[in-house]
Every structure is written in C-alpha cells, then in structure tokens.
C-alpha cells in the first residue's frame, strides 16, 4: 500500500513514517520544512518539499496515486493561533481542504486526520473526556482542528471518502523541538540539560495527558491496518499529570540543580484535560505501552546524545 504522509519530517509525523516503512508500506512525505527537519526524514520515503496549501499538491496526487493519506501537517502552536488566527485557519482549514479534495479526486481509500484531544474540548465539563464530550474550544487552534473533522464527515457522506480522526493528547518524546513554543517536555529537557532555567507558565497546576510518541506511531499504524468505522478516536493515557510534576520528574532524571520558577500564564490554554481512550482500545486494539517515567527517561536519553 502507498501512504502519503503530510508533516512527515516533523516530530510526530517522522515517527509515523518510520512505523509505516517498518511495516512494509510505501511512503511519500509532503512537508514544507517550516518546522520539520531533513534530519528527521527517513531516507526510504519519497520526499516532496511542498506546502499543503500549494496547488502543486494536485500533481503529487496525480503522479503518486496514494492509497491512503495520513495528515499530520499543521500550524500546531496554540499561542500562535491566538496571535495570528488568520494564518492558523489558512494552514489548518484551507490546507486540509486542499488535501481532502485531492484525496477525493484521486480515489484515496482512507484519510487519517490528526486532530487535538486537548484543544478541541476546551475546559472539560466531565473528566476524562471521551469522544462524545461537547466541542467548546477556547483557542483558534482547537476551532480549526475540529472544523476539518466536519469536512471529513461531509466528504464521507457525500463522496464516500472513508476517514479516521485521531485526537491526540499531549505527545512527547525524541525529536520534539526543545526550542519551540509548544512541547513542555522537550523545552524543559533542553533547558535543564544545558544548565538553563526552565520556566513554568502560571502556577503549574494545570494538568495534561502525556502520551509517548512511540505509542502514537503505533496508533497510526493500527488506523491504517485494522478494519474500523469512520469517526474520531481519542489517543491518550487517561492519566492527568501537572506541569509541576513534569518539572520535578525531569529535574530528577536530568540531575538539574535549577529551582522551580514560575512565569505568567499563557492565553488560550486549557486548565485541566485528560482523555478516555476506551473507543480506540475496543475498535483499533490500541492502548499505551510506555509509562510516563520510562518515556521521560527515553526522551532525556535522546537529548543527551551529541
């Protein structure tokens, strides 16, 4: 089978590409390298340096005729979405529609779309959130990611395009950018290993559901290979962990002498969130295998490498 992976040079997308190639799939990567890195790109994949909004994408679909699309490319920073909602919508909505339309036109069998299991639910009314929880995002990023889910449902009903939505919890692990504005594990790890002060935004008691990137890659492989219905699937561990806890665990693992320091809270960020992934367990056969302590150790080990 041939799979086109957008964002395949990025943190998460590159792990998904590796998993697909290891399973014997033929992989094409589309990435504009705005945040992705050539160093992340598996040389066994065919690579097109291209923005998902580019009309040239139609020629890639015509030439490659993928059986599946796995759509990871996105404007994924909550804070940037608050500062520049037009750019966020341009990439996440219009770029996605460009992909979906090309998938429809060329007969793609299934479209696997990466949504957000944190930002789309907003401040949860019930915890843990399952897929039936009301969608009430409090940032543009959450709104744009969920909007594409509606387009996929419409394309399935109208054109028969099968789809899977994977709503990720907070993903961490090797290859995450320690210099970005998102990804607290990588940011804290990078600063601690460099002898710099890591800053906790706000009081640090906000909680997240942290899931290791290797478990995420496996969920994408199951979405490609396991027969399942169209719809959305939460992908998370179902365990709330505070940012203060993450700081303390990484401080211990890295041996950092730096104290706990807090800065101002950031706009648009959910206070408490963790997910119910029972649907993914039942229908995809997925459940997390790497616990937080082990995942953090593997992440620190990766960042220690020269």
Q: What is the pLDDT of residues 110-130, one digit of tens each?
A: 999 999 998 999 999 999 999
C-alpha dihedral sign at 167, 170, 171, 177: positive
Tokens of residue 304, six digits: 């220690």
Q: With a cut of 90, say whether residue 292 has pLDDT above it.
A: yes
Angle between helix 11-22 and helix 213-225 axes, rounded to 10 deg? 50
Q: What is the pTM of this model?
A: 0.96
Q: Which domains does the chain have, with CATH numbers?
A: 2-122+130-171+212-236 (3.40.50.720), 172-207+239-274+291-304 (3.90.25.10)
| Catalytic center residues | 141
Cα distances from 182 to residues 30, 135, 227, in angstroms, run: 22, 22, 33
Q: Which of 239, 222, 238, 231 is nearest to 278 (CA)?
A: 238
Mean pLDDT score of the chain: 96
Q: With a cut of 80, say whether residue 19 has pLDDT above it.
A: yes
Q: With a cut of 70, say whether residue 277 has pLDDT above it.
A: yes
Confidence (pLDDT) at 28 = 98
* Percent of the residues in the chain that have a pLDDT greater than 70, as a whole number: 100
In the chain, the largest separation of any two C-alpha atoms, in whole Å, equals 58
Cα–Cα distance for residue pair 63/260, rounded to 1 Å: 53
Cα distances from 193 to residues 55, 159, 171, 200, in angstroms, run: 43, 51, 20, 16
Confidence (pLDDT) at 181 = 65
Confidence (pLDDT) at 266 = 82
- CB-based contact 1:68 (threshold 8 Å): yes
Q: With a cut of 90, say whether residue 270 has pLDDT above it.
A: no
- CB-based contact 179:190 (threshold 8 Å): yes
Q: With a cut of 80, say whether residue 268 has pLDDT above it.
A: no
DSSP 266: P
Residue entry with tokens 């993928």: 66
Q: Which range among 75-79, 200-204, 296-300 shows the weakest confidence by mean pLDDT?
A: 75-79
DSSP 38: G
Q: With a cut of 90, say whether residue 275 has pLDDT above it.
A: yes
Q: With a cut of 80, say whether residue 96 has pLDDT above it.
A: yes
- For the segment 251-276, the average pLDDT, to the nearest whole number, is 92
How does residue 180 score in pLDDT terms, banded at 50, 70 and 90? confident
Angle between helix 243-254 and helix 292-304 axes, rounded to 10 deg? 50
């Amino acid at each position: 089978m041939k799979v086109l992976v957008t964002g395949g040079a990025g943190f998460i997308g590159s792990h998904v590409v590796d998993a697909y190639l290891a399973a014997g799939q033929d992989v094409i990567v589309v990435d504009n390298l705005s945040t992705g890195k050539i160093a992340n790109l598996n040389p066994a994949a065919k690579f097109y340096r291209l923005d998902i909004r580019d009309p040239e994408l139609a020629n890639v679909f015509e030439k490659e005729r993928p059986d599946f699309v796995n759509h990871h490319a996105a404007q994924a920073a909550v804070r940037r979405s608050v500062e520049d909602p037009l750019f966020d919508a341009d990439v996440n909505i219009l770029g996605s529609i460009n992909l979906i339309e090309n998938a429809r036109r060329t007969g793609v069998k299934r479209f696997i779309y990466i949504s957000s299991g944190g930002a789309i639910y907003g401040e949860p009314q019930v915890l843990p959130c399952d897929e039936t929880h009301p969608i009430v995002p409090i940032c543009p990023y959450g709104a744009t990611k969920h909007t594409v889910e509606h387009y996929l449902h419409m394309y399935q009903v109208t054109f028969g395009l099968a789809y899977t939505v994977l709503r990720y919890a907070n993903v961490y692990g090797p290859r995450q950018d320690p210099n970005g504005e998102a990804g607290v594990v990588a940011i804290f790890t990078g600063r601690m290993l460099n002898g710099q002060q890591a800053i906790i935004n706000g009081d640090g008691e906000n909680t997240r559901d942290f899931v290791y990137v290797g478990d995420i890659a496996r969920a994408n492989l199951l979405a490609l290979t396991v027969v399942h219905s169209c719809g959305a699937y939460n992908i998370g561990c179902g365990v709330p962990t505070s940012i203060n806890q993450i700081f303390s665990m990484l401080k211990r693992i890295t041996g950092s002498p730096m104290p706990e320091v807090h800065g101002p809270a950031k706009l648009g960020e959910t206070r408490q969130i963790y997910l119910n992934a029972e649907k993914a367990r039942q229908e995809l056969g997925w459940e997390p295998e790497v616990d937080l302590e082990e995942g953090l150790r593997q992440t620190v080990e990766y960042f220690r490498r020269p």
